[in-house]
Amino acid sequence: MADDSKSGNCTRLAHAGRRPEWTGIEGHPSAVVNPPIWRGSTHLYPDTKALKAATSCNEDGRFFYGRRGSPTQWALADALTGLEPGAAGTMLYPSGVAALAGALLAVLRPGDVLLMTDHAYEPTRALASSLLKDMGVETRWFDPLDPAALEAACCERTRALLLESPGSLSMEMQDIPAACAFARSRGIVTIMDNTWASPLGFAAHSHGVDISVMSLTKHVGGHSDLMMGSASAGKEWYPKLRRMAQLTGQVVSPDDAALALRGLRTMALRLERTAATALELARWLENRSEVARVFCPMLPGSPGHDIWQRDFSGSCGLIGFAFRGGTAEARSAFIDALSLFGIGYSWGGFESLVTPADPGAIRTASPWPPAGMDAADRFAVRLAIGLEDAADLIADLSRGFAAWSAA
């Protein structure tokens, strides 16, 4: 096959992971388009010699036992590695949170200090302040927008840096290349939650990240019917990720891996469409009197847009906005008046979702609302834009604002 790394996103996604030996049999390689679902716990061997050989050979793409997966999972991991220039391999986990835990546990030891961006996904924070703390790992949170705060939080014992950009809920953009360069100069490992942009929108490893984590539940699955996570790393960290995943028994089902592979084929198209609709909605929201600020890095003039434009090649449909004042009842009335937006957590599916958000609720190291925003405007709404038509979504949001004003 041609060198896929130089092809466009849609081409890469159409061909990723489809190795002839995984989509066919001996004598008829590439017999079917998709890697079949290899559902099996036990792997069998023709004789004891082959069993022994399999047992002593702990490598990717080798049969051994169900926990190490089969061609269905290997094809998905291989496809994801192919999307990350600089990655040597990818581990799969039963959820995005499990992937974050797997990456952190692969890196951290008792006595280490972890630096974490203050706008990190809330369950990532919870992991740090409970399990990691009990393990003897100290976490220090820092202001995502202040490079000096990152440096000030750093000490001799700092082992790892957890980044996320844009941040969950607040959509703040971090200067990832600068943070990674700083970390590298101090021998600190960088882990980035790259769920928002995916490797299609942000080439994490090329920008200096050591381990990139993604919740495949979101864009890769894309249809709100599976949960999975991944962590990709280069030659230094991939074997350590792999070892920790094996020690803790991380495995995903072949059925889910096949669904994720199916989702992956159309991911670029879906991201393009949802990002375009999200930007159209952001432009519309920006001009509404009920809106204090739109959180959408693709929107020209919005905070972080310069970083997004410099470092990112894509985006997605996850945006948000802060209400201009108003009561809790009015915010609930807004959400309850929507009919096209499902009320529920998650994002990256084909359908639009809405949740109330208070980006400041979990922060400990930086102010919210940020400078330039009124304290009365701290409450927000998160919108996960799906594949519906923009005009219909705008009409729905208009109904929401009418309910907000009436409440």
Q: Which residues bind ligand PLP (CB under 6 A)?
A: 95-97, 121, 168, 193, 195, 215, 217-218, 227, 229
Give residue number: closest CB to ligand PLP: 96
Residue (168 or 366) nearer to ligand PLP, CB: 168
Q: Is 121 a catalytic residue?
A: yes
CB 69 within 8 Å of CB 62: no
Write down the catalytic residue from 218, 265, 270, 363.
218
Q: Tokens 């028994």 appear where?
A: 249
Q: Are 103 and 211 contacting, i.e. CB atoms less than 8 angstroms apart?
A: yes
In the complex, least distance from residue 304 CB atom to ligand PLP, rounded to whole angstroms: 16
Instruction: Please say which residue, 294 or 318, places its beta carbon nearer to ligand PLP.
Output: 318
Cβ closest to ligand PLP, residue 264 vs residue 292: 264
Of 39, 62, 67, 235, which residue is the catalytic one? 67
The residues, any chain, with a CB within 8 Å of residue 305's CB and separated by 6 or more, are 173, 297, 298, 299
Closest CB 231 distance from ligand PLP, rounded Å: 11
* Catalytic-labelled residue, pool 193, 210, 256, 311: 193
Question: Peptide bond preceding 147: is omega within 30 degrees of 0, i.e. cis?
Answer: no
Residue 125, SS3?
Answer: helix
Q: Is 377 a catalytic residue?
A: no
Q: How far is the CB of 97 from ligand PLP (least distance, A)?
A: 4
Report the nearest approach of ligand PLP to the CB of residue 348 (Å).
Answer: 8
Q: Are 383 and 357 in contact (CB under 8 A)?
A: no
The one catalytic residue in 12, 68, 121, 382 is 121
Residue (215 or 366) nearer to ligand PLP, CB? 215
65 contacts 40 by C-beta, under 8 angstroms = no
Angle at CA 362, nearest 5°, toward 119 and 204?
Answer: 20
H helices present in 108-193, as ranges: 122-127, 133-134, 147-153, 176-185
Residues carrying an active site annotation:
67, 121, 193, 218
